[in-house]
A and B are shown apart, each in its own frame.
Chain A
Amino acid sequence: MEKSVCMYFQVHQPHRLRQYRFFDIGKDSHYYDEFANKTILRRVSDSCYLPANKVIRDIIEESKGAFKIAFSLSGSVIDQFEKYAPEVIDSFKKLAETNCVEFLAETYNHSLASLVSPAEFKAQVMLHSKKIESLFGKKPVVFRNTELIYSDEIGAMVADMKYKAMLTEGAKHILGWKSPNYVYSNAINPKLKLLLRNFNLSDDIAFRFSERSWSNWPLTADKYVTWIANTLAKDEVVNIFMDYETLGEHQKASTGIFQFIKFFPKALLSQTDIKFCTPSEICKRHQPVAPLNVPFPISWADEERDTTAWLGNELQNEAFTKLYSVEKQVLRSKDIDLINDFRKLQESDHFYYMCTKFFSDGIVHGYFNPYESPYEAFINYMNILSDFLLRVDKSKKTTKTS
């Protein structure tokens, strides 16, 4: 039986909103914190994207193409690369040229549209697909939704859009006794294959790598290869999915994360018969073992692995509902600026900042969070949304008169 490891990294940065007071409503329709966005993007480019891309290119060359990997770049981060760090796009293009790297499809603005609006969801996926094709020369064939959000219905929509496979979380409450280390299929449309994240092995790198109180610290490439080999003694596929910012940003270079990433593929290829595969190669090599029933949306976030990190309290629901209530008017206006702002305001991060789940622990929810409290996040967003709604109203009037 064939044994595979699939590695996928998510690359995303939101358009952070500027401090927007209520006296700006109706007067100033510029919403973004250019300075913060530029500063953060440049910093993460230097600490993560550029050095990590270089390491991965070296591994691919050294392994003579045996190392394969997948990325998904949100449209939000691509737009910002083009504006503030075009060299990062170039280095991703060089990776694309190796033919060992697959780029996945997602919603253009890292949106939660799949939960409320099939039309907006499809529009954003098409927009993103075009962008990826224009940059890297290939149309994506595998889909990953924002925050790996997945349900039977979302899967069916994705299948309708002719994607071969979709990535999601190997959530315990969905799998029960089943293993995440096989390919599954959508419960409505069996043509869509499902690749499930092995959260133990993924989080060993993403969260625990530099955790000195962890009994397995320090994590070496050899140790990690042994774990994968043990897992694949019975099972077929290990999916290691995480944020790209793990390399050099969440786990700083000083933790040795880059050395680990460099030596792990070498160790795996030399010590085992396991192959690195891109998601579409996995689909060719492995057949689904069973359909997977996911009636309610799951995600890769928090212990709950559901969508409550973005839509779990009244504040989030209010902001979300208000935003989507004007979807039709926005699209009907054909106003490019209005549509662009509508999409940027859909970025899941804005809703994540309003999460009150961890209020009691005093933990700030989310990395790069610009707000001191969920209340601040909500107020700022609602002020901007109020201005946006005024513009939508105005556009309605002008389309009527013309």
Chain B
Amino acid sequence: MKVLMFGWEFPPHISGGLGTACYGLTKGLAKHGVEVLFVMPSPSGDEDQSAVKIINASDVVIDESVKNSESFLQKVQFLRVGSNMVPYVDPVRFTTLVESQRVSQIEGYKMYAGERYQFSGKYGTNLMEEVARYAIVAGEIALKYDFDIIHAHDWLTYLAGITAKRLTGKPLVVHMHATEFDRSGNNINTQVYDLEKMGMKEADIVIAVSNLTRNIVISKYGINPEKVITVHNAVEFDKSDNMEVERGVPEKVVTFLGRITYQKGPEYFIEAAAKVLKRYPNVRFVMAGNGDLLTRAIRRVAKLGIATKFHFTGFLKGADVNRMYSYSDVYVMPSVSEPFGISPLEAMRANVPVIISKQSGVAEVLTHALKVDFWDIDAMADAIHALLVYPALSNFVVKNGFEEVNALKWDNAAAKVKEIYTKLTGKL
């Protein structure tokens, strides 16, 4: 069994949980004897290639396999969808625009043919363009390499997955790590929504990282429930021991760690903190991360008059993240909508008791975590307080949580994914 896998990032260069998940899954698949051809733009060359063979999309020279660029574009009709990337066009202008875009795309394609097109590989202002170009290269790769099935991670690579499927007729699996509704609430970016929906419609199987995500996929994208399968994420830890840190403050520390955006529910954490501080002074709160709601969060903390006990660290990475966990007595993930959520698992692994919102996929696989509705700040404050003042509770949760989190293995998730491959290809 050989899989052509389209991803976007890979450790150590990651900007979110997607890369970590791709890495864990491919390693798990490799253990089950599945070969993975992992396609991604602009890898920097220092990724761990022990489990997977990484094809640098920037290294693929577009010339030989398709002689006539016009016929290539005809075969791959979706490329016209690329014209959607121009926002706010009315239906009359749309047709002409599509036609002119098609022409310019052919031109552009010819221009790049025979050359290496350098992908930036970072999410930027020309992301949509990159997504489409990535898809063109995907077609080249699909025709060049031998494989049994195609697997695409998140909407960024769905066009690539579809191209490969149309060119080769091989079955396509798309993997929903997040939906546009998780990222943006109800003010969704319709381009992204359309790409997600198209990818899932074209796919033979849609993998959702939680039942929460599966429900969104079914109810908000209208995907046939029969082809949507939940495979919960897992977590992989390196062997390194938890670090010991010296405390600078005598108080207990309650931590929020994540992007400070709508999706992560930072305001609920702040309100709960204020409630706790009103009755229980022996505690400090830390909000680690960056995001578009950061200034609003700082203003709210100031207004509540708790700024001497509530601290912002800015964006943390690498060892600082681990240090932050070691520094914490309670970890809170109040996400409004979290398809899965790896960070509570990292906290549990560092022997920190966690409070997670019921609106997170990870709540489906954890029993030894306190669960509250993200909006229920009374319950959140109560849970924080309980973990601070009832040592029997935090000890129990930490002990059992550590065991629980170590039992979540990518091996098991990969086995489920392999089962899906086998079902679609008839191969073992």
Contact = CB atoms under 8 A, between A and B. Distances in A.
A315 B396 contact: yes
A23 B390 contact: no
Interface in B255-303: 275, 278-280
Contacts of B279: 22-23, 25
Interface string A313-351: 111011100000000000000000000000000000000
Highest count of chain B CB atoms <10 Å: which of A21, A22, A362 = A22
B35 to A, nearest CB: 35
A361 to B, nearest CB: 10
Contacts of B280: 22
Given A22-B382, A22-B386, A360-B367, A378 B393 contact: yes
A21 B396 contact: no
Nearest to A20: B382
Contacts of B400: 356
Highest count of chain A CB atoms <10 Å: which of B275, B383, B389, B390 = B390
B393 A375 contact: yes
A123 to B, nearest CB: 28
B390 A379 contact: yes
B396 A314 contact: yes
Nearest to B379: A21
B382 A315 contact: no
Contact of A22 (B368, B385, B393, B396): B385
B234 interface: no
A313 B378 CA distance: 27
A22 B381 contact: yes
Interface residues of B, number: 22
Q: Is the interface of B mostly helix, strand, loop or mixed?
A: helix
A383 B392 contact: no
A23 B275 CA distance: 8
Contacts of A356: 400
Nearest to B358: A372
B371 A373 contact: yes
Interface string A10-47: 00000000000111010000000000000000000000
A319 B279 CA distance: 22
A313 to B, nearest CB: 7
A360 B403 CA distance: 13
A359 interface: yes
Interface in B62-116: none
A48 interface: no
Given A362-B367, A373-B367, 8 more contacts: A22-B280, A23-B381, A315-B396, A319-B392, A356-B400, A359-B368, A373-B370, A386-B389
19 contacts: A21-B381, A21-B382, A22-B279, A22-B385, A22-B389, A23-B279, A314-B395, A314-B396, A317-B392, A319-B392, A359-B367, A359-B368, A372-B371, A373-B367, A373-B370, A379-B383, A379-B390, A382-B386, A382-B390
The 6 closest A-B pairs by CB, nearest first: A318-B392, A379-B386, A22-B385, A21-B382, A314-B396, A359-B367
